[in-house]
Each structure stands twice: as structure tokens, then as C-alpha cells.
DNA sequence: CTGAATCCTCTGCGATACTG
DNA sequence: CAGTATCGCAGAGGATTCAG
């Protein structure tokens, strides 16, 4: 019976689908992945450096997004006692587990441009 | 000199960073990746099936997002001449190249839940 | 069944200015 | 330098209805 077949497959993949949604909820918005990329590529990165890396982002947004990433335990914020103060951001172990995805997204972005522009 | 060093690395990674942004521009919004996951996991999928797979999406949104995905050459839409008509969606070759990323996101989503809930 | 058309709400995000 | 505080709007997205 067709519906049974569908239900079978449905159950088979609904868990993965929910997991994908969970991931995208954390990485939502226009900036999160780009910010993570910046920190990921440079290992440690300062606020103003990320501000430059991520094209077009405002300090307001950067501040807000960094806070969310910290809450989600993807990055660690540490204040350096300099004058004036500087703040370093780095990936947690958990954040580093996104490295493969980020690199894949980079590769895919380049491939996508080729596909859309017709090479 | 520190700034030179920074500029050097800056140039080294700005290309990847732009590519990541390109990818995320295509996959933006609340639903795109989930929709792609549905089609990806089942190879071919009908409108109403995707509507069920993606929890919470409205037909209005699904319709709109599918259109964008088609414009970006990630999926192909084909109308089956049945009564009433059914519409199948499947990934293009280019769309299929997202499979690894989708699977990684699924794995990461599960891991993330463990990290946040403290296991 | 697969959408398109309306209407309406809410919020993501930009611009700008200000603080320690 | 690294943020916070306001203000304002376009547009994402929800609910509902209509159409082929």
C-alpha cells in the first residue's frame, strides 16, 4: 500500500530532518555563518577584525550575533586587559566541529557561481 | 609588522569568506535547507509531501521557496499529467552536490542538542 | 492537488548617535 | 576599541481564501 510505504520512509528520515532544522535555527540570520567563518579561518579574531572580514555588517549586528553564538556555545569571548581593551573570539571545540561544513559551503559557493553565471 | 601580517591573512581568506556568503545567500530564510533536505532524502518528492515533511511551513511559503530554488537551479519541477495533477520536485546535479552538507548539518544538529542540553 | 492572491503582523536589520 | 541605545522600515512569513 502506497501510504504505508510513505509512512515508512517518513519515519526513516524525520529525525534527520528535525536535526537539520535544529542546525539551521542556530545558524539563522544573515551573518552567523560568515562570522563563524572569520573566526574559524583565523583561529582567534578580534571584534574589529571580524567587523572588517564580514562585508557589510554593522557593529550593532555583530555584537548581537556574537552574543547569540556565545550562548549557543559555539564561541568563547575573552577580554584582553590592554589599553584600550581588546576582545578576542575563538571557536569552542563544538564550534570547531563546524569547520568541515564551513569549508564545504565555501567550495559550494564557488561552484554555485559557476553554475549560475554559466561559467 | 602586525598590520602586514593581518593584511596577508586577510587576502588569503577573503575569497573563501565571500564564497561562504554566496552560499548562505542562496540558502537564506527559514525553510530552504529543510525543503532541500526533504527532496534530498527522498530523491523525488511531491508538493504535499514536502508540505508534510517540513514542520510548520505554509503552502504559501513552500510555493515561494520552491520557486526560488528552481531559479537557482537547485531543483527541477515536473508536472505529472494525472487527475488531479501532481507535481514532482527533484534535485538537479548541482542540487545534489549539497547532499554532503545536508548530511553534515543533520549530524551536527544532533551533536548540538547534546552540547546544549548537557547530554 | 498545487498553487496564487490578499491581508496583516512581526522582526531582522540598517542608520545613527552615544558610552566606558 | 568594543560595544549599547534608539528609531524606523522593508520584507519575511502566518492565516485565510480563491482558482485551475
**HEC-encoded secondary structure of chain A:** CHHHHHHHHHHHHHHHHHHHHHHHHHCCCCCHHHHHHHHHHHCEEEHHHHHHHCCCCCHHHHHHHHHHHHHCCCEEEEEECCCCCEEEEEECHHHHCCHHHHHHHHHHHHHHHHHHHCC
- Domain ranges, residue B97: 31-117
Preceding peptide of A84 cis, ω within 30°: yes
Q: What is the CATH number of the domain that holds A64?
A: 1.10.10.10
pLDDT at B48 over 70: yes
Tens digit of each residue's pLDDT (9 = 90 or more) over B67-97: 999 999 999 999 999 999 999 999 999 999 9
Looking at the DSSP assignment, which residues form a beta bridge with residue B89? B45, B77
Total domains in the fold of chain B: 2
Q: How does pLDDT run across A9-50, given as a tens digit for each residue?
A: 456 899 999 999 999 999 999 999 999 999 999 999 999 999
| Residues of A (62-91) whose Cβ lies below 8 Å from B | 72-73
Nucleotides of D under 7 A from a protein CB: 1-6, 12-17, 20
Same structural domain for residues B68 and B94? Answer: yes
Residue B53 and residue B81 in one domain: yes
Quick check: A80 CB within 7 A of strand C?
no
CA B87 → C1' C2, Å?
Answer: 7
Residue B2 predicted with pLDDT over 90: no
Residue of A nearest to B36 (CA): A17
Of residues A48 and B9, more confidently modeled: A48
Q: Are residues B55 and B20 in the same domain?
A: no
Same domain, B24 and B50: no
Cβ atoms within 10 Å, residue B5: 9
Same domain, residue pair A39 and A95: yes
The B 17-46 residues near strand D by Cβ under 7 Å are 29-31
Amino acid at each position: 500500500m502506497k501510504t504505508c510505504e510513505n509512512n515508512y520512509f517518513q519515519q526513516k528520515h524525520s529525525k534527520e530532518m528535525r536535526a537539520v532544522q535544529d542546525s539551521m535555527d542556530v545558524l539563522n540570520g544573515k551573518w552567523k555563518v560568515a562570522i563563524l567563518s572569520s573566526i574559524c579561518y583565523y583561529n582567534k579574531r578580534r571584534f574589529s577584525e571580524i567587523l572588517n572580514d564580514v562585508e557589510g555588517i554593522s557593529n550593532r549586528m555583530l555584537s548581537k550575533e556574537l552574543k547569540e553564538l556565545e550562548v549557543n556555545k559555539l564561541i568563547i569571548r575573552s577580554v584582553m586587559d590592554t589599553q584600550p581593551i581588546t576582545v578576542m573570539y575563538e571557536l569552542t571545540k563544538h564550534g570547531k566541529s563546524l569547520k568541515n561544513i564551513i569549508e564545504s559551503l565555501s567550495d559550494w559557493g564557488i561552484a554555485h557561481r559557476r553554475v549560475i553565471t554559466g561559467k
